[in-house]
Amino acid sequence: MRLVGILGGMGPEATVLLMRKVIALRAGGDDADHVPLLVHQNPQVPSRIAALIEGTGESPAQVLAEMARVLEAGGAEALAMPCNTAHAYGDAVRAAAQIPFLDMIALSTAALAAKGRRIGMLASPAVHRARVFHAAFAKAGLVMVLPDEAPLLDLIRTVKSGRTGAAEGAALTRLAEGLRAQGADHIAVACTELSLLTPHLPQGLPWTDTLDCLAGAIVQFSLTGDLHAASD
Amino acid sequence: MRLVGILGGMGPEATVLLMRKVIALRAGGDDADHVPLLVHQNPQVPSRIAALIEGTGESPAQVLAEMARVLEAGGAEALAMPCNTAHAYGDAVRAAAQIPFLDMIALSTAALAAKGRRIGMLASPAVHRARVFHAAFAKAGLVMVLPDEAPLLDLIRTVKSGRTGAAEGAALTRLAEGLRAQGADHIAVACTELSLLTPHLPQGLPWTDTLDCLAGAIVQFSLTGDLHAASD
C-alpha cells in the first residue's frame, strides 16, 4: 500500500476525524489491512482566517509548503489536507512537492456534481469568503446555496466548545431546512464540527461530507495508485 | 512547541486514541495551543506477536528503526510509540535516532511505583510473554499480578470487534475484581482495547492507563523539553 502524507492540524480534531474515517473504510481485517499515513499534525500553521479574511498575520503558504516537503521526503506518495479553508493554499502545496495532491475541493465537487445541482453549503463563512469552492463549482455547473451566517457561526462555535446534543442537532436541522427552502437539492457538509451532527440532517435531503470524499480518495490511492478527479 | 514523532499504526486505533488524549490535554484554547506531532501511522509494521510469541515472520526492529529515522529527519525532537508490546523493540528505536525516546514502559512504571506495589496487569498476554514490563518492574520493586488469560483474551477480541457495552464492562469488572482478590492494590491498563472500558473498573481500586502516561509525557516534552523518567 502507498503511504499518503497528511497536512494536518487545522484543527487537530479534523485530522483525527479523517484518520478515523480512513480506518473505518478498512475495518474488519488485521492491522496490516489499514492504510499507511504520514501525518504532520501541525496546529501552529498560521491562522487561515487571519490571513484570508482579516488580511493580517503570516501567510500559511510557506509553512504548508515546508510540511509538504517533509512528507514527501518521508516517503509519502501523495498528499492530502483535511481542512476546506486551507485549500485556498492548494497551489503552494502543489508547487512544493513532486507527488500528487488529493484535492478535497476537486474530489468533493466531482462527487457533488454526480448527485445534485443546487448545493446547500454547510461550511464556515471563511470557506465562502476565501472562495474555496467557487471556481470548481462554476466549472462543474453547480450553484451554491448559502445559509444564514449568524446561526451557522453560533452552531459551529457551540460544537467546538464540546456540545453535540439535541439542541445542536435541531439547529443543524433548521439550517438544512432553510437551505432546502432556498432550493438546495443536496447538502455539502464542509466543516468538521458539522460532520459530527450529520444524523440530524433532514430526511429526503441527501448530503455529502467533504471529509468522506477525501478519506475515500486516500484509501483508493493507497490501494491502487488511482487518482481519478483528485489531483492536478 | 517541540515536534514529537509518533511510531504508530500498532494498531492504527491506538495511535488515534493517543492523538485524542494529547488533544484533550490541551483542550479549551485555540488550534495553536495544541501539541505538534509527526505521526507515522504504519499498520504494516511486521506483527509483534508473530515475532515475539510465535517466533515466526520478519522482525519489526528494522521497520521501526526506519520509521524513527524518517521522524527524526522530518524534524521530530523526541519519539514516542503508542504500543506496549512494541516496546520489546525499544532498543532498536533508540539506536536508530539521536533524539530521545519517550519510553511508555519507563514512564508508566514510574507512575505506578508512586501509587501502588502489587500491580494488576490488564494487558495482552503478548506483553507478558515478551517480558515488556519485567525489568522495569523489578528495578522499581513492583510485583506483577496477572489475570486469567482466557477471559482476558476473549474480552480483548470482543472489544476489537467493536462491542463495548454492558457485558464487556462487566467482564472487565470481573477481571479487575479477580486481580484485587489476588492482592493487587493498583491496576495498570496497558491495552488500548481495555482503555475504552475503564469506567467499568471497580470502585476503590485505583488504576493507571499507560497511554495516559505517554500522552502526558508528550505534552510535557513539547511544552518544556523536560524528559523526567521518560527517556534513556
* A40 has a chain B CB within 8 A of its CB: yes
In a domain, A229, yes or no: no
Q: Hey, what's the cell of A123? A: 461550511
Do residue A200 and residue A137 come from a single domain? yes
Spans in chain A with pLDDT lower than 50: 230-232
Asked if residue A191 and residue A167 are part of one domain, the reply reads: yes
Same domain, B36 and B88: yes
Please count the residue pairs, one from chain A and one from chain B, whose beta carbons lie less than 8 angstroms apart. 96
Distance of CA A144 to CAs A120, A138, A184, B176, B185, Å?
6, 9, 8, 56, 61
- Where do runs of H (alpha helix) occur along chain B? 12-24, 48-49, 61-73, 90-96, 104-113, 125-129, 134-140, 149-160, 166-181, 192-195, 210-224
Query: pLDDT for B84-143, tens place per residue?
Result: 999 999 999 999 999 999 999 999 999 999 999 999 999 998 899 899 999 999 999 999
Task: Kindly give the interhelix angle for B12-24 and A12-24, rounded to the nearest 10 degrees.
Answer: 160
Asked if residue B145 has pLDDT above 60, the reply is yes
Q: Assess if residue A231 is contained within a domain.
A: no
Residue A144, SS3 per DSSP: strand
What gap in Å lies between CA B80 and CA B59, rounded to an integer?
19
pLDDT of residue A105: 97
Give the span between the Cα atoms of A112 and B45, in whole angstroms: 37
A18: chain B residues, CB-CB within 8 Å: none
Tell me, yes or no, whether A100 and A135 share the same domain. no
Nearest-Cα distance to chain B for A143, in Å, is 32
Same-domain status, A12 and A70: yes
Give the residue-averaged pLDDT of B198-214.
96
Q: Is residue A232 one of the residues assigned to a domain?
A: no
Residues A192 and A135 in one domain: yes
Chain B residues whose beta carbon lies within 8 Å of the beta carbon of residue A15: 19
B157-163 average pLDDT score: 83
Domain coverage including residue B18 = 4-104+211-224
Interface membership of A29 toward B (CB under 8 Å): no
Q: B1 contacts in A (CB within 8 Å)?
A: 44
A60 and A153 together in one domain: no
Strand arrangement of the beta sheet that strand B186-190 belongs to: B143-145, B118-123, B186-190, B207-209
The mean pLDDT of B185-198, rounded to a whole number, is: 93
Does residue B137 sit in the same domain as residue B170?
Answer: yes
Could you tell me which residues come within 8 angstroms of residue B21 by beta carbon, excluding any fewer than 6 positions away? Answer: B211, B212, B215
- For A186-231, the pLDDT digits (tens) are 999 999 889 989 999 999 999 999 999 999 999 999 999 998 754 4
pLDDT confidence band for B174 (50 / 70 / 90) = very high
Query: B38–A40: do the CB atoms touch at under 8 Å?
Result: yes
Q: Which of A7, A18, A37 to mutate to test the interface with B (most CBs of B within 10 A)?
A: A37
Is B230 inside any structural domain? no
Closest CA to B213 of B127, B67, B103, B125: B103
The model's confidence at residue B196, banded by pLDDT at 50, 70 and 90, is confident
Residue B110 lies in a domain: yes
Non-local (6+) Cβ contacts of B96 within 8 A are B64, B65, B66, B68, B69
Percentage of chain B beyond pLDDT 90 is 81
Q: Report the distance separating Cα B50 and Cα B52, nearest Å.
A: 6
CB contact under 8 Å between A16 and B11, yes or no, is no
- Give every CB contact of residue A33 below 8 A, 6+ residues apart in sequence: A26, B43
CA distances from A98 to A83, B13, B31 (A): 21, 30, 29
As a whole number of Å, the end-to-end CA separation of chain A is 21
User: How far, in Å, CA of A74 to CA of B22, rounded?
Assistant: 23
- Residue of B26, B39, B193 to mutate for A, most A C-beta atoms under 10 A: B39
CB contact under 8 A, B23 and A44: no
CATH number of the domain where residue B147 is located: 3.40.50.1860
**Which of chain A's residues have a Cβ under 8 Å away from the Cβ of B31?**
9-12, 43, 45, 47
SS3 A188: strand
End-to-end CA gap in chain B: 21
CB within 8 Å: B34 and A20: no
In a domain, A40, yes or no: yes
Q: What angle do CA B65, B67, B73 make, to 5 degrees?
A: 105
Query: How far apart, in whole angstroms, are the C-alpha atoms of residue A90 and residue A92?
Result: 5
- In percent, the amount of chain B with pLDDT more than 70 equals 98
pLDDT of residue A229: 54
In this predicted structure, the answer to whether residue B231 has a pLDDT above a threshold of 50 is no
pLDDT, tens only, B27-57: 887 889 999 999 999 999 998 878 887 888 8
Same domain, A149 and A74: no
Range B9-16 average pLDDT: 94
* Residue A177 falls inside a structural domain: yes
B25 and B85 share one domain: yes
> Which of B155, B133, B153 has the alpha carbon at shortest distance from B144?
B133
DSSP-derived secondary structure for A73-128: HTT-SEEE---TGGGGGHHHHHHH-SS-EE-HHHHHHHHHHTT-SEEEEEE-HHHH
Q: Are residues B41 and B129 in the same domain?
A: no
Whether residues B90 and B46 share a domain: the answer is: yes
In whole angstroms, what is the distance from residue A3 CA to residue A26 CA?
A: 15
**Contacting residues of A for B27, CB less than 8 Å apart:** 162
Report the DSSP pairing between strands B37-41 and A37-41: antiparallel
Q: For residue A55, what pLDDT is reported?
A: 82
Residue B232 falls within a domain, yes or no? no
Residue range B78-88: mean pLDDT, rounded: 96
Count the domains in chain A. Answer: 2
Is the CB of A73 inside 8 Å of chain B's CB atoms? Answer: yes
Residue B230 has pLDDT above 60, yes or no: no
Amino acid sitting at position B164:
T
Report the C-alpha gap between B162 and B50 in whole angstroms.
23
Give the whole-angstrom CA distance, residue A5 versus residue A81. 9
Locate B181 and state its grid cell: 482478590
> Are the C-beta atoms of residues A227 and A102 closer than 8 Å to each other?
yes
Question: Cell match 508508566: residue?
Answer: B108
Please report the pLDDT score of residue A196 as a whole number: 86
How is residue A60 written as a grid cell?
500559511
